[in-house]
Every structure is written in C-alpha cells, then in structure tokens.
Amino acid sequence: MGNVIQIDDGSKVYDITNMRGELLGQFKFIPSDFDLIRRYDETVSAFEQMSEEIKGKKDAPISYVMELDKRIGEQVDYLFNAPVAKSFFSITSPFTMLDSGQFFVENVLNAVKGIIEQERNVKLEAVQAHVQKYTQKYKTGPGGYIAPVK
C-alpha cells in the first residue's frame, strides 16, 4: 500500500430512524463545519420558495413534482456538502405530506437543525474550556488590558 495520510475530518455517521425506531438509512456529515449554518439558511430559503410553488399548483403534473423533488435533493446535498439526499429521499418523496402537516423534507430540516445546534453547543463549550485553560492565569486589569495574576 502507498503512503497514507490519515486525518480527523470531524465527520460523524447518523442513523435515520422512524418514530418506531426502525433503521431507514444512514448518512455522514461534518456537523461542526463552519459554513454549515449559512448553507442551512440557504436551504431553508430554497425550501420555502419551493413550498410556495407547490402549494400554488394544486393539480401539478407529476413531472413538475419530480422536478421539485430533484431540486430539493440537490439543495440538501448542498447543505451537507455531500451526496446525502438519497439517504433521506429513498424513504419517501421530499414533498410527502406527513400527519403533522409538514412536508417530509421539512421534518428532515428540523431534525438536522437540532443536530447542528447540539453539536455547536458542544464545540463552543470545548473551545471555551480550551481558551480558559490558557487564559485563567490572566485577568483584566485597569483599562481592560489583560495582566497576569500574581
């Protein structure tokens, strides 16, 4: 085998389960990706636009719905910066209406938002602990300057 460089890319594997706990699939992404929040906001915006489009067309041809399915799938892949839409949407169409009144893709986006928020909090706490480790021997002196504690 050739030379190998092994790195920690921060990726995690998540199981996709239904409300009964049955495994429906898996996907991998990097929840601490610095750019993830921007891509999430853009994906939610795109979804809202598509949602309005589909609500405005009660008798839309199947080809139109398939085009929307494709577009939201591409947007979800963009969100994760990886081809994960197939993991979610092989289960059912993104625009399947659930008993809750949400589209399936909306349910997916809400679940992902929870993961992002949870991971961000864990990372922020780790960074704060790391910074505090190195700054605890200092305190703010007169004028806001950091001075060593004696």
3 state SS for the chain: CCCCCCCCCCCEEEEEECCCCCEEEEEEECCCCCCHHHHHHHHHHHHHHHHHHHHCCCCCCHHHHHHHHHHHHHHHHHHHCCCCHHHHHCCCCCCCECCCCCEHHHHHHHHHHHHHHHHHHHHHHHHHHHHHHHHCCEEECHHHCEEECC
Does the pLDDT value for residue 148 go beyond 60?
no
Distance CA 73, CA 135 (A): 45
Residue 17 φ then ψ, to 5°: -125, 155
- At 54 the pLDDT is 78
* Residue 50 amino acid letter: M
Least confident span in 1-10, 21-30, 55-64: 55-64
Its pTM surpasses 0.75: no
- For 8, half-sphere exposure in the C-beta direction (CA atoms, 13 angstrom radius) is 2
Q: Where are the domains of the chain?
A: 12-135
Instruction: At 68, list the tokens.
Output: 């929307």
Average pLDDT, whole number, for the chain? 83
Confidence of residue 142 (pLDDT cuts 50, 70, 90): low
Does the pLDDT value for residue 145 go beyond 60?
no
Burial readout 66-84 (b: 16 or more C-beta within 10 A, e: otherwise): eebbebbbebbeebbeeeb
**pLDDT, tens digit, 9 for 90 and up, residues 28-77:** 888 888 888 889 899 999 999 988 887 777 777 888 888 999 999 999 99
Higher-confidence position of 66 and 144: 66
